[in-house]
C-alpha cells in the first residue's frame, strides 16, 4: 500500500530527531547533497556535448560556427543546451560555495 506523506516542517523535524541532528544541519546537508547530485548530472551532460563536437566550451563552439567550421544544421539546439548547462554549472558552483 502506497502512502503519500506531505512534506512539511514537521517531517523535517521528525527526521532530524530520528537522526539525532539539528534541523539546520539536516537541511544544509540535504541541500549540499542535492546540489552535488545535480552538479554531477550537469557535468556529465556537458562532457557528452563537448565530446560530441570536440569543443571545450560554448564559446569555442560559437567560434567554430562563425568560422564556418561547424554546420549549424542539427547542432544549433545542442549549442543552446551547452550554453544553458554551462550557466547552470556556474550557478550550482556558486550555490555550493555559499554553504
Mean pLDDT, residues 24-42: 97
Largest CA distance in the chain: 61
CA distances from 62 to 56, 72, 81 (A): 11, 10, 12
List the chain domain ranges. Answer: 36-98
Is the pLDDT reported for residue 2 higher than 80? Answer: no
Q: Is the model's pLDDT at 1 over the cut of 50?
A: no
* Neighbour count for residue 55 (Cβ, 10 Å): 18
Q: Which single residue is written with the C-alpha cell 530520528? A: 18
pLDDT of residue 25: 97
Instruction: Report pLDDT digits (tens) over 39-94.
Output: 999 999 999 999 999 999 999 999 999 999 999 888 999 999 999 999 999 999 99
Amino acid at each position: 500500500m502506497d502512502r503519500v506523506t506531505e512534506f512539511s516542517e514537521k517531517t523535517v523535524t521528525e527526521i532530524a530527531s530520528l537522526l539525532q541532528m539539528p534541523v539546520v544541519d539536516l537541511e544544509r546537508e540535504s541541500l549540499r547533497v542535492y546540489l552535488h547530485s545535480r552538479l554531477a548530472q550537469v557535468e556529465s551532460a556537458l562532457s557528452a556535448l563537448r565530446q560530441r563536437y570536440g569543443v571545450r566550451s560554448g564559446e569555442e563552439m560559437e567560434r567554430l560556427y562563425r568560422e564556418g567550421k561547424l554546420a549549424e544544421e542539427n547542432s544549433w539546439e545542442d549549442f543552446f543546451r551547452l550554453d544553458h548547462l554551462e550557466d547552470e554549472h556556474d550557478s550550482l558552483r556558486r550555490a555550493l560555495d555559499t554553504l
